[in-house]
């Protein structure tokens, strides 16, 4: 009986040891992953209250979940901190930029365009400047396959700033996209609009 127990113990021990080793390894891996995640994780200001930290971390988590760049949120937090904004304003602004990126990405994906991070961020910036999710989708749908929309989004909002109506601005930029015009040619729309303003012709 004792022999059996010893044999059983000897037989089981490696498994236990192995299991423990595996557990340790798993724990180490988790720790390493956590450490990596912490190192790579966008910063959450240390002096923020617990509730603000939770909300900000949730915003980052949502960005990861929806495949939009966390760096844009990180930038917004850094901007708020540089400008001595309140915690509440920083958290709200971070959430807003995440939502805009989510919407911009969704619009582009729905239009059959797989955007990179720069396009998602440019789309979000365009939304901050008045372009709607539907208009982003329309531009993405009309853009030649493989063409980056970053400059196009910027051109639309800048034309609008020069007094060109948003619909007209979208039409002009889309016409350029349809014609497979270069980024420089799209940008020239804005240059011409600026000259028109200087001449008084709007």
- Burial of residue 74, with CB atoms counted within 10 A of its CB: 0-12 exposed, 13-18 middle, 19 or more buried: middle
Task: State how far the alpha carbon of 189 is from the alpha carbons of 17, 145, 170, 185, in Å.
Answer: 71, 22, 11, 7
Residue-wise burial string across 111-133, b where 16 or more C-beta atoms lie within 10 A, e elsewhere: bebebeeebbbbbbbbbeeebeb
Instruction: Summarize the chain as % helix, strand, coil (round to 5).
Output: 75, 0, 25
- Residue 198 is a binding residue for other proteins (CB under 8 A): yes
Q: Which of 52, 59, 100, 121 binds other proteins (CB under 8 A)?
A: 121
Q: Which of 20, 163, 167, 179 binds other proteins (CB under 8 A)?
A: 163
- Residue 179 is a binding residue for other proteins (CB under 8 A): no
Residue placing its CB nearer to other proteins in the complex, 133 or 183? 183
- Residue 93 is a binding residue for other proteins (CB under 8 A): yes
Beta carbon of residue 22, minimum distance to other proteins (angstroms, whole number):
41
- Residue 187 is a binding residue for other proteins (CB under 8 A): yes
Beta carbon of residue 66, minimum distance to other proteins (angstroms, whole number):
20
**DSSP category for residue 85:** -
Please work out, in degrees rounded to the nearest 5, the angle formed at the alpha carbon of residue 197 by the alpha carbons of 193 and 202.
80
Stretch that binds other proteins, among 45-53, 60-68, 134-142, 187-195 (CB under 8 A): 187-195
Task: State how far the alpha carbon of 59 is from the alpha carbons of 46, 77, 86, 182, 199, in Å.
Answer: 16, 11, 17, 36, 46
Beta carbon of residue 171, minimum distance to other proteins (angstroms, whole number):
19
Q: Which of 41, 78, 111, 166 binds other proteins (CB under 8 A)?
A: 78
Instruction: Kindly state the number of chain residues that form the binding site for other proteins, as judged by CB under 8 A.
Output: 41
- Contact positions toward other proteins, by CB under 8 A? 72, 74-76, 78-83, 85, 89-90, 92-93, 96, 118, 121-122, 125, 128-129, 150-151, 154, 157-158, 161-163, 182-184, 187, 193-194, 197-200, 202
């Amino acid at each position: 009986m004792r022999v059996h127990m010893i044999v059983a113990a000897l037989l089981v021990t490696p498994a236990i040891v192995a299991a423990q080793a595996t557990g340790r390894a798993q724990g180490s891996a988790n720790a390493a992953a956590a450490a990596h995640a912490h190192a790579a994780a966008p910063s959450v200001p240390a002096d923020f209250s617990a509730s603000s930290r939770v909300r900000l971390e949730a915003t980052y988590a949502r960005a990861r979940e929806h495949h939009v760049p966390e760096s844009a949120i990180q930038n917004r937090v850094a901007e708020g901190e540089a400008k001595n904004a309140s915690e509440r304003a920083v958290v709200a602004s971070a959430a807003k930029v995440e939502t805009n990126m989510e919407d911009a990405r969704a619009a582009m994906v729905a239009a059959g365009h797989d955007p990179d991070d720069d396009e998602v961020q440019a789309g979000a910036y365009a939304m901050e400047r008045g372009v709607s999710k539907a208009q982003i989708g329309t531009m993405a749908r009309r853009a030649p396959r493989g063409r980056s929309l970053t400059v196009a989004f910027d051109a639309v909002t800048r034309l609008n700033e020069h007094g060109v109506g948003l619909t007209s601005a979208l039409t002009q930029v889309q016409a350029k996209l349809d014609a497979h015009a270069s980024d420089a040619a799209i940008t020239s729309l804005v240059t011409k609009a600026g000259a028109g303003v200087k001449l008084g012709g709007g």
